[in-house]
Amino acid sequence: MIHKRFLLSGLVLALALTVAAIAAPALGAQTPTAGGTQLPRTITVVGQGSVTAAPERARLSVGVESIATSAQTASKDNTTKMDAVLAALKKAGITDKDMQTNNYSIWTESMPGEGSDAQPKVRYHVTNQVTVVVNDPAKVSDLLDAVIAAGATSIYGVNFEVKDTGALEGKARAAAIQDAQARAADLARLTGVKVGPVVQVSEVIGNALPYREAAQGMGGGGGPQINPGELTFNSQVQVTYELLR
């Protein structure tokens, strides 16, 4: 009876070892899914690329503000001053298609009257602003000097651009892909595997910087010092590669 029990226990142990050997996957084998499909081993990396370019044009906002005790007087004064600013822009070579009104507003300001029984005084503010495109960045400083002399009271957002961002974005994207390939190859070398074909690739949106605001300062004997500098275009991609043994 004891001998039969030992035989039965040995048979159960041998059967269990056989099942375990069949079920255990080989080292480095592909990972099975619930449906039995084999998924490839992969590696995911993030590549970054950037290119720089000299700006080809500038964009800025020029405005005039007038203040008077009546809206009509303030508006008339503003029109006269704005006409002078527009004339200065045209004289500097800016065409009508490169000038666009971006703001025209009238608002009131209540001022305290003189004496204890005096009624508050009302002043009217009229503001007119235009967006100007300057196709030669080197002329921005002289242009600002001209509009200030013509009566401009506000200048906002001197920004530099390139006319076509597509080609530069493409170069930055290509550099990002090359960086991803280099990173994947380095990681594969360190872990003793090889990089296979691309399984998935996606671009991380929101990293391009097509504009850079100009540095400004007042220069002696001329217009404001405007430095166009360079524009930087960045790209970031996420790439998944299959790993080979």
CATH fold of 28-53+165-244, please?
Translation Initiation Factor IF3 (3.30.110)
CA-based nearest residue to 48, from 179, 207, 241: 179
Measured distance between the N- and C-terminal CA atoms of the chain, rounded to whole angstroms: 53
Tokens of 77: 């004064």
- pLDDT tens, position by position, 119-171: 778 999 999 999 999 999 999 999 999 999 999 999 998 999 999 999 999 99
Tokens of 227: 């430095």
Q: Compute the distance between CA of residue 113 and CA of residue 128 in angstroms, rounded to an integer.
A: 28
Q: Compute the distance between CA of residue 63 and CA of residue 81 in angstroms, rounded to an integer.
A: 10
pLDDT at 110: 87
| The CA-based dihedral angle spanning residues 129, 131, 132, 138, taken in that order and rounded to the nearest 10 degrees | 100
DSSP3 helix / strand / coil % (the chain, rounded to 5):
35, 40, 25
Q: Cβ neighbours of residue 127 under 8 Å, at least 6 residues apart?
A: 63, 64, 65, 78, 103, 104, 105, 106, 154
Residue 105 β-bridge partners: 127
CB atoms closer than 10 angstroms to residue 169 = 17
Please, what CATH class does the domain formed by 57-161 belong to?
A: alpha beta
Which regions of the chain are under pLDDT 50? 1-29, 207, 211, 213-221
pTM: 0.68
Using the CB atoms, write b or e for 198-233: b if 16+ within 10 Å: eeeeeeeeebbebbbebeeeeeeeebbebebeebbb
Which residues make up the CATH 3.30.110.170 domain(s) of the chain?
Answer: 28-53+165-244
Which residues make up the CATH 3.30.70.2970 domain(s) of the chain?
Answer: 57-161
pLDDT at 225: 85
